[in-house]
Structure 1
Amino acid sequence: MNNSVDTVSRDAWATRAGFILAAVGSAVGLGNIWRFPFQVGQEGGAAFLLIYLLFVAAIGFPAMLVEFVIGRYTNRNPVGALAQLGRGLWGYVGWVFIATGFIILSYYSVVAGWTIRYTIIGLQDGYLADGAAAESQFLDVASGLDAIFFHAVFMAVVIAIVALGIKRGIELAVKLLVPAIIVISLGMALYAFTLAGASDAYSYYLSPDFGVIASNWTSILPAAAGQAFFTLSLGMGAMITYASYLEEDRNLAEDGAIIVGFDTAIAFVTGLIVFPILFTAGVDPADPGPGAIFVSLAAAFGDLTLGWLIGAVFFATVAIAALSSAISLLEVVVSYLIDEHDIDRVTATLAIGGGLFVLGLPSAWDLVLLDLFDGFADQILLVLGGLLLALFVGWKIPDLAVGELKKGIGPIDSWGTLWVWLIRVPVVIVLVISLALGILGYVEFLQDDFIPWLEG
């Protein structure tokens, strides 16, 4: 029996597959399909991919186990979990996760709304091959009343699923959504393999230039760390919350490896889809910015035979992936109200969902404001949350953490010691460096983009 005190009856996963698919669904989202390609393009192609994969294995997997043991041991949301285990300021660390999840979902829903609109565009009028026209089309979709409407549509769907609970809502949804993402992604990768630009795209995506790493490591390192945490749903409380619904006999290391493996594979496959399409259409993959993948891909689809259909399928897949992640982010904050304030699920979901919609309105109105929220969450809050949790588990409660990890695995003395020291030293060092560089990068964004926008 876990060392927690239940104030209300908590839900639980009906099956192991339900938990794994939910965690995979949380990890597989806009981070894989929207963010990952433009991060690869922006940070030097295969050079970024190599560092990102190293981060996932050496930092992401150990950090995921940290969140798992905290969640399962306490059966609590991030705030309740850290308040139960921590003393003094440590007891307040959970609020970092609540704030991160809240901020991310506010603009995440806006971007997900773009994917719905782009799916409809493909089925109605098709995509515009001309770059300038494609950019104008994106600006119409990405800001103003159009963006607000589809932000509202997406948030309404997320609210409906989370309000139904773990078994009838989240678990049922992910059992449909995640297999669909996998099947469609593999089919589109096979299609992309047949395109004329595939060979050059694979060279760009799979052959790292170590000179790029050496010259741009101050940019690549925080970007790779932020991407690894974003795509694995770490640092935002989702994995703590999902693990809090687990039974004690689950093998956390095995489940974590499966989740990390699926998430990384889908991100990798997304690159095999996107870059052949861009290279075939002659579009520069290094074009930066969160909207670039929409502009560039839409223009590329406009140049392809049956591009309207391929594009509609692609953007629909992105929308499905976004939904599977968004429900986990909403559940983080909803579980806090249920656990700590004894509020019923439907009321909590409606209240938080409504607040998220309002907070997302600035991001839906102007792209600079979306960048403001995204940079703060991705480069600072995600990494900060991961760093604080690593310090807490690695140095304050290592014996408790190893003991919880053993449940469902058996004796892991040497392996558990290795895990703790990975958390204590390399994970902490990398996250400290990434956080410092991320703060510097965010300050630069404020000076170069946000302040001129305010003054203009």
Structure 2
Amino acid sequence: MSSVRGEFSSRFGFIMAAAGSAVGLGNIWGFPTQTASNGGAAFVLVYLVLAFCLAYPALMAELVIGRHGQANAVSSLQKLSKNAFNKRFAFAVGFGGIICAGLILSFYAIVAGWMFTATLEPITKLANMPDATVWLSNQSLARDLIFTSIFVILTISIISKGVENGIEKWSKRLMPALLGILFLLIAYVLIQDGASEGLKAYLVPDFSSILDPELLVSALGQAFFSLSLGTSVMIIYGSYISRQENLVSLGAYVTLIDVFIAFVAGLLIIPAMYVAQAQGVEIFSANGQLLSEDTLVFQVLPALFDSMGDVGLFVGFAFFALMSIAALTSSISMLEAPVSYAVERFALSRLQATWVIGGLISVVSFTIIFNFSDLFGFVVSLTTQFGQPLIGMLCCVFVGWIWQRNNLLTEIKNGYPEADNSFFWKVWPWYIKFVCPVAIALVFIHSQ
């Protein structure tokens, strides 16, 4: 591997970086909100099944493509192509994933800006700065533009330093901090009045709603969103993995960590919603519909923290600091997808590419802010519920139908010499070729 491209210096570094990409607002903002909106425990059950049965095989497809190609997503896919049609198909899949990553980062940056304002709000209260507190707590064009810009600049500053000194270094620092804060908050929330009702809603499924089409599409989209699939991110990260590493176990670790943290985040958010409800905060409408889906954590949880008195300021600061960390670990992977393409396709320096791409994404973010009611929900649905699963499905098609089985085995055996005798190898190539594309397609057909 060329030293110019860089690679992860350790197995732990890759797992933390890939898990950091997977573990972000998708887990801690998106997953609990989707759970509350789609039948509670029934959604959790379907999500877990789809994460292991469809998302993990698709993750392995993207990692294998990336490590074999040792390049950006488009080039890695085109290296597997045997004719002009396949190369055009490869470009469409790879570049489509890059566009999807950029669009996700454009709304991610807005939500992350909200996280920053919510993190600063307790500080202004402690400092007795009421005007600043009111400005931070009320959504406005000026506030959203400023904090979205701050978040994008912070993401750019990490990505511009490259793989080992940027992505890996900060993922290894931020991920353990995220987990520590998360568990402390869960311990606090679970001893509050109303938490037991939240746990019941989260852990006891209503099996009658499991086959609901909207629930299935939402759970599939959430599984792909939280694992950063269909965005070219895992193809890029795969290209930075040493050929001596066992891809099968690395992919399993990332999937397990992602699903674990999504589940644990639900243990925090869902009981916290019911604790807030027990304290008089309105969460559901009269017909049982979840209120304020996109901004749920910014409306319900601050009310919960306020009810705690002075200690609530510290709890609120810790929680939204956690959310900001989660946003950052994901955003650096989303920006890496287009940056790696620009560096290798147009021979730009990493610094130039990072600022150019970051600037373009900022323009999209600002456009969404100026047209928030029309664009925000649309971009979220377009990318996470449709774009990611469909592009992930096309990656499965690419590996299953275009890449020769013997070539695939050769790549898997790098770092896993006994692969051809394993249960994984006996099942996965056929599974990725037939089951994954058909299952994903059926979910979408069923939803129409």
What TM-score comes out, normalization by structure 1 length? 0.88
Residues 358 and 364 (structure 1), Cα distance of their counterparts in 2 relative to 1, 3 Å cut: same
Given the alignment of the two structures, is residue 429 of structure 1 paired with residue 429 of structure 2, yes or no?
no
The Cα shift of 1:302 comes to 2.3
Choose 49-58 or 11-20, whichever is displaced more: 11-20
Given the alignment of the two structures, is residue 246 of structure 1 paired with residue 253 of structure 2, yes or no?
no
Aligned residues: 422
Secondary structure of residue in 2 paired with 1:14: coil
The Cα shift of 1:339 comes to 1.6
CA distance in 1, matches of 2:77, 2:417: 26
Task: Kindly indicate whether the alpha-carbon contact (under 8 Å) linking 1:73 and 1:404 is maintained by their aligned counterparts in 2.
Answer: yes
The Cα shift of 1:270 comes to 0.8
Task: Quote the residue 1:121 is aligned against.
Answer: 121
Matches within 5 A, 1:398-437: 398-399=404-405, 400-413=407-420, 414-436=423-445
Amino acid at match of 1:284: I
Task: Quote the residue 1:271 is aligned against.
Answer: 266
CA distance in 1, matches of 2:367, 2:446: 26
Matches within 5 A, 1:60-75: 60-75=55-70
The Cα shift of 1:156 comes to 0.4
CA distance in 2, matches of 1:195, 1:359: 41
The Cα shift of 1:417 comes to 3.0
CA distance in 2, matches of 1:165, 1:271: 33
Residues 138 and 200 (structure 1), Cα distance of their counterparts in 2 relative to 1, 3 Å cut: farther
What TM-score comes out, normalization by structure 2 length? 0.90
Amino acid at match of 1:260: T
Match of 2:360 among 351, 355, 371: 355
Summarize deviations over 1:372-431 as a string: whole Å, max 9, x none.
Answer: 211111122101111111111112215122321222112223531300122122211221
Task: Quote the residue 1:198 is aligned against.
Answer: 195
Amino acid at match of 1:300: L
Match of 2:308 among 298, 304, 307: 304
Residues 166 and 288 (structure 1), Cα distance of their counterparts in 2 relative to 1, 3 Å cut: same
Task: Kindly indicate whether the alpha-carbon contact (under 8 Å) linking 2:210 and 2:216 is maintained by their aligned counterparts in 1.
Answer: no
Task: Quote the residue 2:6 is aligned against.
Answer: 11
Secondary structure of residue in 2 paired with 1:281: helix
CA distance in 1, matches of 2:411, 2:56: 16
Task: Quote the residue 1:164 is aligned against.
Answer: 161
CA distance in 1, matches of 2:313, 2:389: 38
Matches within 5 A, 1:199-348: 199-214=196-211, 217-282=212-277, 283-284=282-283, 286-287=290-291, 289-305=293-309, 306-348=311-353
Task: Quote the residue 2:141 is aligned against.
Answer: 144
Residues 139 and 302 (structure 1), Cα distance of their counterparts in 2 relative to 1, 3 Å cut: closer
Summarize deviations over 1:423-451 as a string: whole Å, max 9, x none.
Answer: 1222112211334467x5xxxxxxxxxxx
CA distance in 2, matches of 1:424, 1:139: 49
CA distance in 2, matches of 1:313, 1:258: 27
Summarize deviations over 1:50-82 as a string: whole Å, max 9, x none.
Answer: 000001111111111101100000101111111
Secondary structure of residue in 1 paired with 2:201: helix
Task: Quote the residue 2:287 is aligned against.
Answer: none
Task: Kindly indicate whether the alpha-carbon contact (under 8 Å) linking 2:118 and 2:137 is maintained by their aligned counterparts in 1.
Answer: no
Task: Kindly indicate whether the alpha-carbon contact (under 8 Å) linking 2:236 and 2:337 is maintained by their aligned counterparts in 1.
Answer: yes
CA distance in 2, matches of 1:108, 1:121: 20
Residues 303 and 103 (structure 1), Cα distance of their counterparts in 2 relative to 1, 3 Å cut: same
Secondary structure of residue in 2 paired with 1:125: helix
Q: Which runs of 5+ in 2 are unaligned?
A: 127-133, 285-289
Secondary structure of residue in 2 paired with 1:195: coil
Q: CA RMSD in A?
A: 1.9
Amino acid at match of 1:56: A
The Cα shift of 1:312 comes to 1.6
Task: Kindly indicate whether the alpha-carbon contact (under 8 Å) linking 1:138 and 1:295 is maintained by their aligned counterparts in 2.
Answer: no
Given the alignment of the two structures, is residue 40 of structure 1 paired with residue 35 of structure 2, yes or no?
yes
Task: Kindly indicate whether the alpha-carbon contact (under 8 Å) linking 2:121 and 2:136 is maintained by their aligned counterparts in 1.
Answer: no
Task: Quote the residue 2:400 is aligned against.
Answer: 394
Amino acid at match of 2:360: G
CA distance in 1, matches of 2:135, 2:440: 38
CA distance in 1, matches of 2:369, 2:409: 44
The Cα shift of 1:288 comes to 5.1
Amino acid at match of 1:48: F
The Cα shift of 1:254 comes to 0.9
Choose 363-372 or 234-243, whichever is displaced more: 363-372
CA distance in 1, matches of 2:117, 2:446: 35
CA distance in 1, matches of 2:307, 2:206: 30
Amino acid at match of 1:103: L
Residues 137 and 379 (structure 1), Cα distance of their counterparts in 2 relative to 1, 3 Å cut: farther
The Cα shift of 1:139 comes to 8.3
Secondary structure of residue in 1 paired with 2:200: helix
CA distance in 2, matches of 1:184, 1:139: 23
Q: Which runs of 5+ in 1 are unaligned?
A: 127-135, 441-456
The Cα shift of 1:198 comes to 1.7
The Cα shift of 1:309 comes to 1.9
Task: Quote the residue 2:103 is aligned against.
Answer: 103
Secondary structure of residue in 1 paired with 2:193: coil
Match of 1:174 among 171, 174, 191: 171
Amino acid at match of 2:24: G
Given the alignment of the two structures, is residue 56 of structure 1 paired with residue 51 of structure 2, yes or no?
yes
The Cα shift of 1:244 comes to 0.4
Task: Kindly indicate whether the alpha-carbon contact (under 8 Å) linking 1:119 and 1:311 is maintained by their aligned counterparts in 2.
Answer: yes
Task: Kindly indicate whether the alpha-carbon contact (under 8 Å) linking 1:70 and 1:401 is maintained by their aligned counterparts in 2.
Answer: no
